[in-house]
Amino acid sequence: MTTAASTDLSLMAHLLRRAGFGSDRAELERYAARSYEDVVEDLLNPERFEEPEDEILSRFYPHLQANKDNPAVWNGRWFYRMVNTERPLEEKMTLFWHSVFATGWTKSEHTPTMVDHIQMLRTNCMANFRTLLLGISRDPAMIFWLDNNENHGESINENYGREILELFSMGIGNYTEDDIKSAARAFTGWTYDTPVALYPFGHFDVNYRFRPDDHDDGQKTFLGHTGNLDGEDIVNIITEQEATARFIGRHLYNFFVADEAQVPAWSIEPPADPAAIDDLVKAWIDSNADMKAVMRTLFNSEWFKAARFKHVKSPTEFVASVLKLSGEYGEPAPDLHKLENTIVTMGQKLMDPPSVEGWHTGKEWIDGGTLTERVNYAIDTLNNPDKPGVKAIIDRISAQGNLTSPEQLVDNVLDLIGPLEVEAGTRDTLVAHAQTEGALDWSSGVAAEASGARVVQMLTLVVSAREFQFS
């Protein structure tokens, strides 16, 4: 690894928001002391860093070792990883693929398969797309979600055969109904061992199983390829298609770069930045669908670097970013499971998307109710000078001197939580409020306590602003 020159703080903050869940200022400065390209390589190679230490979580959550039946507990554990991991892109890519290969708990009501599903996404999140799609096709949660356990050699079920083409790889308009039927036939016999009955025994693990006696061995034609094709052949053919590269590239752009039109419109609405999609397609083709190569192209591109604050944070991204600022949950706590309900009130439930289409993103995350929940959560979480992250912000501002002007207060807070870019009108409003109480005074204990309270107040005002909803 090369010795790095420092990187612009704003650019590094942008990268950490998109390739992870943000950072506190100390973490940002550590990253920015190195070259941008070196940081990208570390993000793309999570194996260089230890996995988050979460064994102690079992002290708070016996379910992790016993009956793995509570999705809220596992979602709390996932938030713990998001906030504490030294492998942020691994968690961010896991969240990304979870939104693409949408699979939900509500249908199965079987938590172990959903936990294994998320872990499968994590393990393969930056592998070759072929490997990931094959893992999805053998995943018991997905098999049940899209009824491939009911896809038999003598009586096919087209659900998975359709969705692997329409929503998981190529998109509408790039295949025929005959291709769907052939894909469904190829995946016959791909099922799972039926688990022990839920009642009275609880939740047990479920394993993939191939049943050759239930597989259609006949000749099939799929996307111009003819032969005794099986599911693995279908995955290989799909991965080789330029349409797949474009479809997944557009997903990547929408999630990591800038909000796009929603998936149902993609067959009639062109990408916002066709040249960026072309770059991702080229990286896909040149690397034979290696996701590390594709993501390297994305993060190192000028169009990514320029796309700052053009993506509305999902509820998960929003809550994780607030927690990073607050410094909470740096160590396990028994109330992590409450974070599931927090994001549910904002319109998202991990491990339980509303449909196979996943969540709609961008401005569709925001309405009067969900925005109120976001603002209230940010204020409640950061309105405490004793929280490690909040205290660090106060300490940095107080270290600048005994008198801090209202303008300096606003600019310092905007800088320390981002740097966050806001419109001139937003800054003017914040400055006008700060001016009502004049300069901060750190010259005595009493004055410093009052000034610290004003920093906290300004922090809560900033995170209430429209601009804080964007990453």
Say how far apart CA 344 and CA 140 lie, in whole Å.
25
User: Cβ contacts of residue 415 below 8 Å, gap of 6+?
Assistant: none
- Whole-number pLDDT of residue 148: 97
Say how far apart CA 287 and CA 289 lie, in whole Å.
5
Tokens 């601009």 correspond to: 467
Residue type, 92: K
The CA distances from residue 251 to 5, 96, 262, in Å, are 32, 9, 9
Residue 195: cis peptide before it, omega within 30 degrees of 0? no
Q: Torsions phi, psi of 73, nearest 5?
A: -65, -45
Which DSSP helix (H) or strand (E) runs through 403?
strand 403-404
Closest CA to 92 of 389, 341, 324: 324
- Whole-number pLDDT of residue 64: 60
Say how far apart CA 313 and CA 342 lie, in whole Å.
15
- Whole-number pLDDT of residue 2: 38
Helix (H, G, I), strand (E, B) or coil at 222: strand
Q: Residue 5 burial by CB count (10 A; 0-12/13-18/19+): exposed, middle or buried?
A: exposed
Q: Torsions phi, psi of 241, nearest 5?
A: -80, 135
Task: State which residues of the chain have pLDDT below 70.
Answer: 1-5, 54, 60-68, 195-203
User: Cβ contacts of residue 120 below 8 Å, gap of 6+?
Assistant: 135, 136, 139
Cβ–Cβ < 8 Å for 161, 181:
yes
Say how far apart CA 455 and CA 188 lie, in whole Å.
62
Q: Torsions phi, psi of 435, nearest 5?
A: -70, -20
Closest CA to 398 of 355, 442, 438, 367: 442
Strands (E), 204-323: 208-210, 220-222, 225-227
- Whole-number pLDDT of residue 1: 34
Read off the tokens for 384.
Answer: 């405490």
In angstroms, what is the C-alpha Rg of the chain? 24
User: Cβ contacts of residue 194 below 8 Å, gap of 6+?
Assistant: none
Say how far apart CA 374 and CA 380 lie, in whole Å.
10
Read off the tokens for 318.
Answer: 């929003």
Cβ–Cβ < 8 Å for 450, 437:
no
Q: Residue 366 burial by CB count (10 A; 0-12/13-18/19+): exposed, middle or buried?
A: middle
Cα 407 off chain centre by: 35
- Whole-number pLDDT of residue 202: 57
Helix (H, G, I), strand (E, B) or coil at 9: helix
Read off the tokens for 293.
Answer: 């190569």
Say how far apart CA 379 and CA 367 lie, in whole Å.
18
Q: Torsions phi, psi of 208, nearest 5?
A: -60, 145
The CA distances from residue 318 to 9, 192, 350, 402, 418, in Å, are 21, 36, 13, 34, 13
Domain boundaries, the chain: 87-306, 388-469
Which DSSP helix (H) or strand (E) runs through 241?
none
- Whole-number pLDDT of residue 59: 72
- Whole-number pLDDT of residue 3: 42
Write out pLDDT tens, residues 217-263.
Answer: 999 999 999 999 999 999 999 999 999 999 999 999 999 999 999 99
